[in-house]
Chains A and B, each alone.
Chain A
Amino acid sequence: MSELTDLTVAEIRDGFRAGDFSAREVAEAFNKNVAAAKALNAFIVETPEKALEAAGAADRAKAAGEALKPLSGVPIGMKDLFCTEGVQTTAASHMLEGFTPTYESTVSGKLWAAGAGMLGKLNLDQFAMGSSNETSYFGNVISPWRRARKDGGGGDNAALAPGGSSGGSSSAIAARLCPAATGTDTGGSIRQPAAFTGISGIKPTYGRCSRWGIVAFASSLDQAGPMARTVRDNAILLETMAGFDPKDSTSLDLAVPQWEAHLSSDLKGKKVGIPREYRPDGLNAEIAALWDRGIEWLKDAGAEVVDVSLPHTKYALPTYYIIAPAEASSNLARYDGVRYGQRNLPDGAGLQDMYAATRALGFGPEVKRRIMIGTYVLSAGFYDAYYTQAQKVRALIARDFEQAFEKCDLLLTPTAPSASFALGEKQADPLAMYLNDVFTVPASLAGLPAMAVPGGLDAQGLPLGLQIIGKALDEQTVLNAGLAIEERAGFTARPDKWW
């Protein structure tokens, strides 16, 4: 039998039920991999005892012949943006270092109630702001992948970015430290790291997953979603994570579909739109070639391919970099050194000085930058020129998608404009870093479900991903197209263990 840590969520669930192995054996195997992978810095807090506790409950239930839960026996990683009762939750910031929630986020609570066990809290970009996991107060996450040429020469050992903001999640899954993990996606934070590390991840329709108990970044964009190695595993996790929650006013009061049971890679009758604006001059040739292969794969699965236009695509990123910082500046106003988190009280300081000193100490440079941009675009005299204009352009971007979906059922695009890059390579220029999200941000602005699936390796031996964007609430078609690509891409590459 292959190693337990090579199994998918579905294989662990089914193998545990069939009695091939105990839940404890699975939890111990993953705990061991987690403990041995400090070099990746994927976890901020490790919770092997939580994984064993859930495994023990699963083993006891099975021995007693009780009904098993959907995720009984499955250990997972939890992005450290989800509040977990009694376990430090930091959003990878100094501000929240030591913060121990007295409550559980809705999404993490649903996963535990479904029998999953927690391996630990996963590192991320600070307050989920970043595309390379270089803004964490707790240090960079390192991708398990390294550049190596297929002919055996020309590689290097440079530390590569696992993507961001869910970089701990992507790194840990690719390195087999956990079979699956939660992510959150505001402008691409599930999809881009998934693409960088050769795994899959789905951001569902805005409102599918409750935001309650997730440290807020940009509330009109933030969505939780799963990350895992297979499309099926994503379907399994999303079924547990999604669902109406009265504690989130933007939660959708809709039944959760049975995505796993309805998985089908037969795309007959489906029309796939190829948005021409996603092929700008200078698009990386290997990514363009992979995209072409993806189109052939979907045709092979029975889909018809049509050309579509999303004319406002080029305005999506600047729109995002007004709206997301604006919402962040408002959301992060809560960190005042009074109710939770750090406090910095210089000698003789009054309340206002304490606020300013606390926030200077607790926030990293990228977080400060975004708060200040947000404060500026919302300030008197500039609000209409920046924020209102951005919300109008956002409406046009959403309308582009509506019009495209009159001609097709889903869209296929690349996930990111490049493969993973070396840590430090894009640090100096915030704008260059922002451009990483050029293909993922439009679907976020429109609230649409979107998924990244691995398509192949580039000449450096690094994974490249394809993105599927669906109509609102049509996660099923997104997952089905993802499955069709997964079956045809035959992506089995994994990083060589060096850590």
Chain B
Amino acid sequence: MSIDLQTVKKIASLSRISVTDAEAEAMVPELNNILGWVEQLGEVDVTGVEPMTAVIPNKLRLRDDVVTDGDVRDKVLANAPQAEHGFFAVPKVIE
């Protein structure tokens, strides 16, 4: 299946990346090329094959339910583009 300009704009919106019309248009053939190429996977017979979930058998570990970190507010905020009163600051969300 091939994607059109509207689809590219939709994907960009889902990806939270703003694109100009010209950028979106340039991406149509690029993304179609790549998607057309990966679609060859459709020809592989995968009857009875479980999708892989881990390359090396490993078990998710449980740890004791205790606090292991915290008290590092200033470190957490140290790289924030805007931090105020000990919080991350963002543009107004609710009018």
Contacts and interface: CB of A to CB of B under 8 A. Distances in A.
A391 interface: yes
Given A220-B55, A315-B44, 9 more contacts: A102-B78, A249-B61, A250-B58, A338-B80, A359-B15, A376-B11, A376-B31, A379-B14, A398-B52
A300 B37 CA distance: 41
A91 interface: no
Nearest to B15: A375
A65 B17 CA distance: 58
B41 A246 contact: no
Interface of B: 3, 7-8, 11-19, 27, 30-31, 33-35, 37-42, 44, 46, 49-56, 58, 60-61, 63, 72, 75-76, 78-82, 88, 90-93
A245 to B, nearest CB: 11
A368 interface: yes
State the majority secondary structure of interface residues on A. helix
A339 B52 CA distance: 33
A436 to B, nearest CB: 15
Interface stretch (A159-167, A180-188, A340-348): A340-348
Nearest to B7: A376
Given A318-B40, A350-B91, A391-B52, A396 B46 contact: yes
Contacts of B18: 353, 356-357, 359-360
A393 B39 CA distance: 12
Given A376-B3, A379-B11, A395-B52, A312 B34 contact: no
A189 interface: no
A389 B41 contact: yes
B76 to A, nearest CB: 8
15 contacts: A100-B79, A246-B63, A318-B38, A321-B38, A338-B81, A338-B90, A339-B79, A351-B93, A359-B16, A372-B27, A375-B14, A376-B7, A391-B53, A392-B44, A394-B52
Contacts, number: 161
A54 interface: no
B51 A430 contact: no
Interface string A314-333: 01001101100000010001
A391 B54 CA distance: 10
A354 B91 contact: yes
Contacts of B14: 375, 379
Given A100-B79, A389-B46, A398 B61 contact: no
